[in-house]
A and B are shown apart, each in its own frame.
Chain A
Amino acid sequence: MPLEAPPIRSDGLQIADNRRFQRRFWKVERVAWVFFAAVVVAGLAGLTGGGGYFSRQQVQLSEAIVDLPRVSRWEDSDHILLTFTSDAPTYTIRLGGGFNGAFSIDQVQPQPARSRAVPGGLEMEFSGVGSGGTARIGIMPSAPGLATLSLGVGGNETSVRVLVLP
């Protein structure tokens, strides 16, 4: 490493200051602070998951309203909440598509009467719940990324996306 002494300024200080670079860096600093504020606002709004208005999404199907995460976080617990809207003795919930690769299930309340594997996911049958009743499925994202899964209740099925942040 070559030894190079800093220059001596007109005021006598021997210092390697670089005011031109420093001015540019101060501008970058201030832009960064605006970005920090945007991150905080995004966090409050739910865009980074963990609660907040935009962190959840609702999907209306013929037999239920499904409340699930829009933005979730890797290795953080989350949940899918189903509110049944029709009067039926049993409800069949299908979580397919990329569900198995994207999420693992922590717990299901109430316990389904029956569950079986389907391609890419699983199917659960709830009985004795009734209209207005709910079922809560605790999930944990397995990996960060954009997960696309199919969600079905009864004969109705739809595709939803969940963004999992690292």
Chain B
Amino acid sequence: MDAVLRGVAVYFVLLVVTRLSGRRTLAQTTPFDFVLLLIIAETTQQALLGDDFSITNAFVLIVTLFLTDILLAYFKQWAPTAELVLDGTPTVLMSRGEPDAEALDRARVSLSDILENAREKHGLQRLEDIEAVVLEVGGSLSIIPKEK
């Protein structure tokens, strides 16, 4: 019973904290964020296993985590508001070539981040080459180039 309760509790704690930390935290891959992910993995390991390192405990935990994920996916389908709260919605950061200052500030995305993505994904050189930018629910940036 312990394993199931620990698994569900840690899953929801991580879900809530990650969701409330802001989407860019998910997508950024700076050395600091990489280190953060490693440390979080180590931190939760002990909380999940306690002092029981048996194969049975690990198996029950793994199944619990996957099942929680599946049930949450079904719940989101059944309750669109839950999907909105848990996953969020895409946010338009630039539209018709004009940056949305409020959205950029709240989402903690800078024009440098946008230009970096534009160069990486489309080989675009300048802001004027960008028609629209969307911050997706997963934290990645979608760049839509201007039609030439």
Q: Interface of A with B (CB < 8 Å)?
A: 1, 9, 11-13, 15-19, 21-23, 25-26, 28-29, 32-33, 36, 75, 166
Interface flags for B38-57 (1: CB within 8 Å of A; 0: not) read 00000000000011000000
Whether B92 lies near A17 (C-beta < 8 A) is yes
Across the interface, name the chain A residue whose C-beta is closest to B100: A19
Rounded to whole angstroms, the CA-CA distance of A9 and B95 in the bound complex is 10
Whether A17 lies near B89 (C-beta < 8 A) is yes
| CB of B113 to closest CB in A, whole Å | 17
Q: Is the interface of B mostly helix, strand, loop or mixed?
A: mixed
Across the interface, name the chain A residue whose C-beta is closest to B105: A26
Q: Interface of B with A (CB < 8 Å)?
A: 9, 17, 20-22, 50-51, 77, 84-85, 88-92, 95-96, 103, 106, 132, 134, 144
Whether A11 lies near B132 (C-beta < 8 A) is yes
| CB of B86 to closest CB in A, whole Å | 11
With contacts A9-B95, A18-B84, A22-B103 known, what are 15 further pairs, Cβ within 8 A?
A1-B77, A13-B134, A15-B90, A15-B92, A15-B134, A17-B91, A17-B134, A19-B103, A21-B84, A22-B89, A22-B91, A25-B85, A29-B22, A32-B20, A75-B51
Rounded to whole angstroms, the CA-CA distance of A33 and B92 in the bound complex is 23
A22 proximity list for chain B (CB < 8 A) = 88-89, 91, 103, 106
Contact of A13 among B9, B17, B85, B132 (CB under 8 A): B132
Rounded to whole angstroms, the CA-CA distance of A16 and B83 in the bound complex is 12
B85 proximity list for chain A (CB < 8 A) = 25
Cβ contacts A to B, 21 pairs, < 8 Å: A1-B77, A9-B92, A9-B95, A12-B132, A13-B132, A13-B134, A15-B134, A16-B89, A17-B90, A17-B91, A17-B92, A19-B103, A22-B88, A22-B106, A23-B106, A28-B20, A29-B20, A36-B17, A36-B20, A75-B51, A166-B9
